[in-house]
Copies of this chain bind each other. A is one copy, B any other.
Amino acid sequence: MAKQIPENSVGIVRPVCLHFDEPLPLRSGKVIESYDLMVETYGELNDDKSNAILICHALSGDHHAAGYHDPDDEDEKPGWWETCIGPGKPIDSNRFFIVSLNNLGGCAGSTGPESTNPATGKPYGPDFPIVTVRDWVNSQARLADHLGIEQWAAVIGGSLGGMQVMRWAISYPERLRHAVVIAAAPKLSAQNIAFNEVARQSITADPDFHQGHYYEHGTYPKKGLTLARMIGHITYLSENALRGKFGKSSLKGENFGRDLRTGKLNFDFGVDFEVESYLQYKGEAFSSNFDANTYLLITKTLDYFDPAVDYEGDLSKAFEKGSCKFLVISFSSDWRFPPERSREIVNTLLKAKRQVSYLEVESDGGHDAFLLSEPRYLNGLTAYLSVVANESAGTRGADHAS
């Protein structure tokens, strides 16, 4: 029996693997001679190719942002941004042609550490070059070329995805009309970097890591990656969300999220509290589906992002070119990239005399709120993108078409 797919889903989708033969020079000075990108698209490109939206994924995301792959698997979960992408949803597949890719260095089919290094005939492993957000955006621009898209109606992303959006506005200011930057920051702070470094060391300390050559050893640093993800996961969730999720049995007074796994303390070093069990579960589930070398690489990509560096630290100078409009969104309980960091982006854009809208959403969802069904967030995004869709309809055959 085929599974029931909600009407407001893009439904069954098929990723495609696109091969690029032109060498890609990287920020590090290295060059990737050729590479594959895994891509999904939702909706139809209009005649003048003015309704295309690029989705940029965050650390753990990939090309599968919406819909389902298997018509028969009733347990299959939809793509990672199913809340936002689909017919009638904020990023409306009835009105937009939506492009989502797995970035270079990823582990969902695009060229990355698991791929064969043509120089050795073995997997790249730790020798896969560190790619930056700028490198990704360059590869995405080539993807746009391939698809015949001269200018995106919008480039949209949350967290690390939002950093790619900013880089698009800096590197290719004429190639997007709208930049939607969600739950992001102008660059990582020392504390952000510190968490990433501990996560990396958790992986590299795992005896099954073998300096990143675990593929050849037939091992996998599952425990290290589980730990890394547990650390990350704590920073994605708000204190209040944890209290709410694990404070069901609380008595009078404040709820601290101290629900016990077996109803009592065990006085050993096993699991006592539900939150411990939950984190363990989340970490293990993640580590079953993600490559540890990719995790190392993408945390470095995050750490390295700092577009102000080429402008003597003045990010506003980076944003002086181009005419795209910005929507910046933050969430009150996000302590990884708090609203203050989004306001820094907004103030920088204002200093650069750019047009920017800003939405600060009250939410207990923490950093991960950008993936959740927060009504004010979804409504704000819907309202903004409706205007964008109307523009695209109005530009049919106009100057914007390539």
Chain A interfacial positions (CB closer than 8 Å to B) = 27-30, 126, 129-130, 186-191, 193-195, 197-198, 200-202, 204-207, 223-224, 227, 230-231, 234, 237, 239, 242-243, 245-247, 250-254, 256-258, 265, 267-269, 272-273, 275-276, 279-280, 296, 300, 303-304, 306, 308, 312-315, 335, 344, 348
A300 and B276 CA atoms in complex are apart in Å by 12
Report yes or no: A205 in contact with B204, Cβ–Cβ below 8 A.
no
Listed by A's residue number, 25 A-B pairs whose Cβ atoms lie within 8 Å are A130-B268, A186-B256, A187-B256, A187-B258, A189-B243, A189-B257, A190-B243, A190-B246, A191-B237, A194-B230, A195-B234, A197-B276, A197-B280, A198-B230, A201-B230, A202-B227, A231-B231, A251-B314, A252-B313, A252-B314, A253-B315, A253-B348, A265-B304, A272-B300, A273-B303
A250 and B314 CA atoms in complex are apart in Å by 11
A384 and B257 CA atoms in complex are apart in Å by 34
Q: B residues within 8 A CB of A308?
A: 251, 253
- Which of B194, B239, B344 is A276 in contact with, Cβ under 8 Å? B194
Q: B residues within 8 A CB of A252?
A: 312-314
Q: B residues within 8 A CB of A254?
A: 186, 344
Report yes or no: A258 in contact with B190, Cβ–Cβ below 8 A.
yes
Q: B residues within 8 A CB of A206?
A: 205
Closest to A208 in B: B207
Q: B residues within 8 A CB of A269?
A: 126, 130, 200, 204, 296, 300
Report yes or no: A313 in contact with B253, Cβ–Cβ below 8 A.
yes
Report yes or no: A272 in contact with B198, Cβ–Cβ below 8 A.
no
Report yes or no: B256 in contact with A198, Cβ–Cβ below 8 A.
no
A154 and B195 CA atoms in complex are apart in Å by 38
Q: B residues within 8 A CB of A344?
A: 254
The 10 A-B residue pairs whose C-beta atoms are closest, nearest first, are A251-B313, A190-B257, A190-B242, A28-B267, A190-B275, A252-B313, A197-B276, A189-B256, A252-B314, A190-B246
Report yes or no: A190 in contact with B251, Cβ–Cβ below 8 A.
no
A234 and B199 CA atoms in complex are apart in Å by 12
A198-B231 in contact given A239-B189, A254-B186, A257-B189 (Cβ < 8 Å)? yes
Report yes or no: A194 in contact with B267, Cβ–Cβ below 8 A.
no
- Which of B195, B224, B227, B276 is A193 in contact with, Cβ under 8 Å? B276
A202 and B223 CA atoms in complex are apart in Å by 9
Q: B residues within 8 A CB of A186?
A: 254, 256
Min CB distance A64 to B, Å, is: 27
Q: B residues within 8 A CB of A247?
A: 190
Report yes or no: A234 in contact with B191, Cβ–Cβ below 8 A.
yes
- 17 additional A-B pairs beyond A198-B279, A251-B314, beta carbons within 8 Å, are A130-B269, A189-B256, A190-B256, A191-B239, A191-B242, A191-B257, A197-B273, A197-B275, A197-B276, A200-B269, A202-B227, A204-B269, A205-B205, A231-B231, A251-B313, A253-B315, A272-B300
A190 and B257 CA atoms in complex are apart in Å by 5
Report yes or no: A234 in contact with B187, Cβ–Cβ below 8 A.
no
